[in-house]
Amino acid sequence: LSTDLSYGSFLKDSRIYQPNTYFEADGKTEIAEINNGFDTDTKIDLYSFKTDYEKSFNKLSISAGFKYYQVETVNDFIVSNVVEDEYFVDEARSNNFSYTEQVAAGYLDGKYTFSKSLKANVGLRIENTASQGILESAVATENDNVKRNYTNIFPNVGIAYNKGKSDFNLGYGRRIARPNYQQLNPFE
């Protein structure tokens, strides 16, 4: 039996200066100069609790567990017009996006050893996800507050055969891809 409690925090303050000079086709005659600044600050907090239990019998090994985690993110995307080294925020192109995700999952997994060279496993994970994304912007959007709550089932099954220096594996599993939290902003 093992239990883990975790907390993680990520902070990134980022300011990018992007000068833009536009020229005629001759490449020498300047048409316009538009300089932008981008502040893309990110704050992520992650909390998790996980407990696992494993028990072995002769040729059978069974494991079960539960995991809960919560992620809270705040992503700023502030666009500024830069004139003579002075930053003027462009409210129409800027936003703040906050996202909260809570995941509770339980699993049961079994492994059976038929012989030294033949092993099989089968498992099932059930997961419930509740999330909310809130976009704050001067420009009204249709989806400025998106809430989701869904449950998924993730089965897996596999068989492994080892003969000398060769391994043969056949497996099926259903998985889910999570977003990259530090770049999570629908404006981008």
pLDDT tens digits for range 6-31: 999 999 888 889 999 999 999 899 99
Q: How sure is the predictor about 164, in pLDDT bands with cuts at 50, 70 and 90?
A: confident
Look at residue 188 in the predicted model and tell me its pLDDT: 45
Find out whether 39 and 89 touch, Cβ atoms under 8 Å.
Answer: no
Whether the CB-CB separation of 75 and 97 falls below 8 Å is answered with yes
- Cβ–Cβ under 8 Å, residues 42 and 74: yes
pTM for this predicted structure? 0.76
173-182: long-range contacts (C-beta < 8 A, 24 or more apart)? Answer: 176/127, 176/152, 181/10, 181/44, 181/71, 181/73, 181/99, 182/10, 182/12, 182/42, 182/44, 182/73, 182/75
Which tens digit of pLDDT belongs to each residue from 33-73? 899 999 988 899 999 999 999 999 999 999 999 999 999 99
